[in-house]
Chain A
Amino acid sequence: MTPTLQLFLVISAALFSIGLLAALSRRHAIFILIGIEMMLAAANLNFVAFWRFGPQTQPPIGVMIAIFSIAIAAAEAAVGLALVIAVYRHYRTTNVDHLNQLKG
Chain B
Amino acid sequence: MSSAAVVIIAILTLAAALAAATLQKLMHATLSFAVALVGVAGLFFLLGAEFVGLVLVFVYIGAVAVLIVFTILLTRRDVGKERAANWGGAFLAVAVFGGLTWAILKTQSVAVVAPHIRLVTVKRIGEALMTSYVWPLQCVGLLLTAALIGALVLVMEEKP
Contacts from A to B (Cβ < 8 Å)? 1-11, 13-28, 30-31, 33-35, 37-38, 41, 44-45, 48-49, 51-53, 55-56, 59-60, 62-64, 66-68, 70-79, 81-86, 88-89, 92-95, 97-98
Verify A34–B52 contact, CB threshold 8 A: no
Segment 19-54 of B: residues with Cβ below 8 Å from A = 20-21, 26, 29-30, 33, 36-37, 40, 43-44, 47-49, 51-52
Query: Interface readout for B86-128 with A: 1 if CB under 8 Å, 0 if not?
Result: 1011101110110011001100001111110110100011011
Known: A18-B17, A28-B82, A72-B143. A59 touches B72 (CB 8 A): no
Contacts from B to A (Cβ < 8 Å)? 1-3, 6-7, 10, 13-14, 17-18, 20-21, 26, 29-30, 33, 36-37, 40, 43-44, 47-49, 51-52, 55-56, 59-60, 63-64, 67-68, 70-72, 74-75, 77-78, 80, 82-83, 85-86, 88-90, 92-94, 96-97, 100-101, 104-105, 110-115, 117-118, 120, 124-125, 127-129, 131-133, 136, 140, 143-144, 146-148, 150-152, 154-155
Name 10 interchain pairs, CB-CB below 8 A, sorted by A.
Answer: A2-B114, A16-B96, A24-B88, A25-B93, A30-B71, A52-B48, A55-B115, A59-B127, A68-B140, A85-B71
Chain A contacts for B105, CB-based, 8 A? 6, 10
A92 to B10, CA, bound (A): 38
Known: A44-B52, A45-B40. A34 touches B29 (CB 8 A): yes
Distance from B86 Cβ to chain A, minimum over Cβ atoms (Å): 4
A53 to B48, CA, bound (A): 11
Distance from B106 Cβ to chain A, minimum over Cβ atoms (Å): 10
For A66, give its contact among B29, B49, B74, B94 (CB under 8 Å).
B49
